[in-house]
Amino acid sequence: MPENVRQKWRPRLWTVVTIVLGVVLSLPFAGLYFFKFYANQLVQQTEESLLAQASIMAAIYAQSYEVASGTETASAKTNQEFDPTFPSLSMSAGILPQRPDAVPNVVNPSPIYLDIGPELSRVASAAQINTLAGYRFLDDQGNVIGGSAEVGQSLAHVEEVQRALEGENVSVARVRVRDTPEPTLYSFSRGARVRVFVATPVRSGGDVIGAVYLSRTPNHIFRFLYGERFNLAKASLFVLISTSLIGFVFWRFITRPIHALIARTQTTGSNGQRWQPLEHYGTREIETLSHSFQSLTERLQNKQDALKTYTAHVTHELKSPLTAVKGAAELLAEEDMTPSQRRVFLENIARNTQRMEELLTSMRAFSLADQSAMAGETRLKSIVPDLSSRFDPVRLSVRGAETALPIHTDTLKIILTHLLENAQQHGATEVTLIADRETAGATLTISDNGNGISDGNRDKVLTPFFTTRREQGGTGMGLNIVTSTLEALGGSLTLLATERGTAFRISFQNAPK
């Protein structure tokens, strides 16, 4: 990497996986901090319980009042209309300040309230043992006539009490002040710092004769968690095992194959070492990536080998014409050379110069084979007329002219031009092109009626720089240019066995899905 290019910091794959696993593992614990929604649910459960108790206590209060005042009805009303009250408190709606303290009575309760007060207090004491709620029974002036506390004092100045004496069911959440310091763990929950108050009017004969005022602290979230400690332990163990399993899956199917792939790419090519398949691919995508790397490295290695061979060949091939040109130039410098001799040496220089130009042209075409390889879609019917006019002595016949081949038109023309030139140079007068589509992919077969290839040369014909026409200027690079172009497209060139002439098959593999 150039020194002036600043390399950005990028985390390792395992670092990312570790962070993800850490987040997954911490989600249950983070939920202990972000459980306000559950605290709100506990508040509403407490409100619902107090509303039910208040309704019962109001009925007991009304019955006791009617008995004491002599206004008790003989039978209950029929066709009674139901008017249910549902919980409505929400922690997000705001919490009222601490409830004002009780004050001395301004007006003393009437004798009827004083008579029923002690009985209501006994009911409240019995109920409080199990419900843990606070009970206040108020007369129509807001005086506490019975209950679990503040009997003989007035709560008429409390807002929810005033509204209840006006005939309204009221539920409020107020700030709770503890007598002892609050445990640190409780500070995570807002539910520990509130107290729910419910004020319900008491009616007799259609008139409001008083109110029932109940209060209770909501059940604490940690008390609930303690009760569910065994289930929570099981859930935590499950989360731990699941996270470990996820980590193993990431390591086994992603991290380890990628590290193996990185190590393989770093060692391939050093000291002539070729690509070796991985022992474990993990996932199909990594297997496809590995095969792509393998195909790429093999193409690069083959290209490098071919260039080395070609360089050695060109060096050898250029040495002879350069020596001839150099010797001819030295002889031409002599003054006693006849015109006919001079013409012979000049023709020799021209011939050897042309040979060097052909070698350099073939070298350039071979090096640019990958660049000329273009994917696309071509049908033989679109290029056969052009090829027939260029190779007029050769008669072209086509089968499967409508079959689509996955190659660009210009690229296919270059390939067929090399193959038709070879066929024409070896005496072919007829060439058959057969396009077909098989399960593995499309194929194109090129067969001719020429002189064919001898058995001794069949294994050499695809070797770089092999040619039987060296005296006629052949470089042996035509088939290698075709092979290199097809490999760049994922295709291949195969020499087929024939009784007469020569046949090549071009295979195009289907792209992986």
Residue 216 and residue 49 in contact, taking contact as beta carbons nearer than 8 Å: yes
What percentage of the chain carries pLDDT values higher than 70? 77
pLDDT score, position 111: 92
Q: How far apart are CA 192 and CA 183, in angstroms?
A: 10
What value does the mean pLDDT take over residues 90-113?
A: 87
Sign of CA dihedral 366, 368, 370, 376: negative
Per-residue confidence at 287, pLDDT binned at 50, 70, 90? confident
Helices and strands in the chain, H and E counts: 13, 12
* Contacts of residue 154, Cβ cutoff 8 Å, sequence gap at least 6: 102, 103, 104, 105, 106, 141, 142, 143, 144
pLDDT score, position 93: 72
Tell whether the model's pLDDT for residue 333 goes beyond 60: yes
Looking at mean pLDDT, say which of 258-262, 317-321, 361-365 comes out highest: 258-262
Tell whether the model's pLDDT for residue 504 goes beyond 80: yes
Q: How far apart are CA 215 and CA 313, in angstroms?
A: 102
Q: What is the DSSP secondary structure assignment for residue 470, as one 8-state letter?
A: T
Q: Choose which CATH entry (1.10.287.130, 3.30.1490.270, 3.60.10.10, 1.20.140.10) describes domain 299-365.
A: 1.10.287.130
Query: Quick one: how far is CA 344 from the chain centroid?
Result: 75
Tell whether the model's pLDDT for residue 102 goes beyond 70: yes
Secondary structure class of 450 (helix, strand, coil)? coil
Residue 432: φ, ψ to 5°: -110, 130
Lowest mean pLDDT among 151-160, 217-226, 283-292, 390-399: 217-226
Nearest to 163 by CA among 193, 196, 138, 132: 138
Looking at mean pLDDT, say which of 7-11, 139-143, 192-196, 289-293 comes out highest: 139-143
Tell whether the model's pLDDT for residue 41 goes beyond 60: yes
Residue 509 in tokens: 């593999």
**Which class does domain 372-509 fall in?**
alpha beta
Per-residue confidence at 477, pLDDT binned at 50, 70, 90? low
Nearest to 121 by CA among 147, 142, 150: 147
Secondary structure class of 70 (helix, strand, coil)? coil
Higher pLDDT, 72 or 212: 212
**Which class does domain 31-71+87-227 fall in?**
alpha beta
Sign of CA dihedral 494, 497, 502, 505: negative
Secondary structure class of 1 (helix, strand, coil)? coil
Residue 46 and residue 216 in contact, taking contact as beta carbons nearer than 8 Å: yes
Beta bridge partners of 444: 435, 506
pLDDT score, position 172: 93
Lowest mean pLDDT among 198-212, 214-228, 456-470: 456-470
Residue 380 in tokens: 């033989």
Amino acid at 426: H
Tell me the pLDDT tens digit for each residue of 111-136.
999 999 999 999 999 999 998 899 99
Nearest to 54 by CA among 110, 123, 112: 123
Angle CA(389)–CA(395)–CA(396) in degrees, nearest 5?
80
Q: How far apart are CA 362 and CA 466, in angstroms?
A: 13
Residue 174 and residue 188 in contact, taking contact as beta carbons nearer than 8 Å: no
Cα of first residue to Cα of last residue in the chain, in angstroms, is 35
Domain locations along the chain:
31-71+87-227, 299-365, 372-509
Q: How far apart are CA 413 and CA 419, in angstroms?
A: 10
pLDDT score, position 53: 93
Tell whether the model's pLDDT for residue 166 goes beyond 90: yes
Query: For the whole model, what pTM was predicted?
Result: 0.44
pLDDT score, position 362: 65
Compute the half-sphere exposure of residue 391: CA atoms within 13 Å on the CB side of its CA. 24
On the 0-12 / 13-18 / 19+ scale of CB atoms within 10 A, 287 is middle
On the 0-12 / 13-18 / 19+ scale of CB atoms within 10 A, 128 is middle
